[in-house]
Amino acid sequence: MNTRLQRFAQLVFYGNYFYGVCAVSLILETSALLKIPFQGSLFYAIAFVATVLFYNYPYARNYSSPSTNPRTAWYIANHSLIVKTQIALTLLLIILIASVLINYFHEFENMSNLQWLLFLIFPMIGAMYYGANFFSARYNLRSIGWLKPFLIGFVWAGVTTIYPFEYHDVLNSTHHPVTILEILLFLKNLMFISMVAILFDIKDYASDSSSHLNTMVVKIGLRKTILFVVFPLTILGVLTFLSYALVHQFSLLKMILIMIPFFLLIIVARSLKRRRSLMYYLVAIDGLLVVKAAFGILAAMVTS
């Protein structure tokens, strides 16, 4: 690989900027499927910056010992850059959030308790994922290995599914009732992202096992995780949304477009029976989030 291209790829994927792209893509998918009017670029910018900051948080400390993990090694080599970037992104996030609050102060002042709950619950759980909770500085939700992928799925589904229409409601001072489509879309995203997180845990099987972090892959093994967890739950996600699609008479093309990412998820899961590089996981597995968003947006363009 060309050296410049390799460095750029490492910056995008190791530096977690691709996760920001994934978050924005999924928000665009939700907006398209739920026909949410465009509310300006501030919301997308906040989602991107906050996602990058969140995922760089555990790596933005000074590692003193060398590591065989290529991403950890990259963070060691670029520690100064990461610290400066985190500071700059934090300041940018504060400015972006302040801009929204200043421009829409009265709208946020009139938010209902339910809206505040929906806005706060996902970042709170995200913070607890790394141990920022009220119980113990040493305890974090991430240590509950079997629960970890579903927590990730819950937070991601909330930010990319609940936030778009709640943000629209707050800015327009409206309160629309939650629809079955919104609930199913949330559950579909939760299921899909949780499966992606489970697949991503496969790369850490050896280190998680040695550190006694009982992830699902460690507890039941790679083969059983794919056969008895990933496949069934992926199919369940397809059937759940398919039942809604049939009742509401979606066209065959629209149903196919929505289901394609789930079948790609199964194909990628099967490919993990062979040992894969970290970059493969970052591109092929996390890339499924962008692929899912793209097909969802295409499905939203289909008239019925």
Contact 147/140 with Cβ under 8 angstroms?
Answer: no
Measured between alpha carbons, how far is 296 from 250 in angstroms, rounded to an integer? 13
Please provide the average confidence, as pLDDT, over all residues in the chain: 84
pLDDT score recorded for residue 137: 47
**Taking residues 99-110, what's their average pLDDT?**
90
| Model confidence at 158: pLDDT above 90 | yes
Helices (H) and strands (E) in the chain, counts: 17, 0
End-to-end CA distance of the chain: 44
Residue 275 banded pLDDT, cuts 50, 70, 90: confident
**Taking residues 200-204, what's their average pLDDT?**
76
HSE at residue 245, side-chain half, CA atoms within 13 A, is 23
| Model confidence at 32: pLDDT above 80 | yes
pLDDT score recorded for residue 43: 95
Dihedral angle sign, alpha carbons of residues 220, 222, 223, 225:
positive
pLDDT tens digit sequence for 183-195: 888 988 998 999 9
pLDDT score recorded for residue 112: 86
38 Cβ contact list (under 8 Å, min separation 6)? 31
pLDDT score recorded for residue 250: 82
pLDDT score recorded for residue 208: 61
| Model confidence at 255: pLDDT above 90 | no
**Taking residues 29-51, what's their average pLDDT?**
92
Residue 162 banded pLDDT, cuts 50, 70, 90: very high
| Model confidence at 100: pLDDT above 80 | yes
Predicted TM-score (pTM) of the model is: 0.89
CA-closest candidate to residue 14, choices 57, 67, 75, 58:
75
**Taking residues 91-114, what's their average pLDDT?**
91
| Model confidence at 211: pLDDT above 60 | no
Measured between alpha carbons, how far is 269 from 271 in angstroms, rounded to an integer? 5
Measured between alpha carbons, how far is 99 from 271 in angstroms, rounded to an integer? 45
pLDDT score recorded for residue 133: 43
pLDDT tens digit sequence for 114-143: 889 989 999 888 887 765 544 444 556 666
**Taking residues 223-238, what's their average pLDDT?**
82
Note the Cα 62 to chain centre separation in Å: 26
Which range (9-18, 47-56, 228-237) has the least confidence? 228-237
Residue 111 φ/ψ, nearest 5 degrees: -65, 145
pLDDT score recorded for residue 245: 79
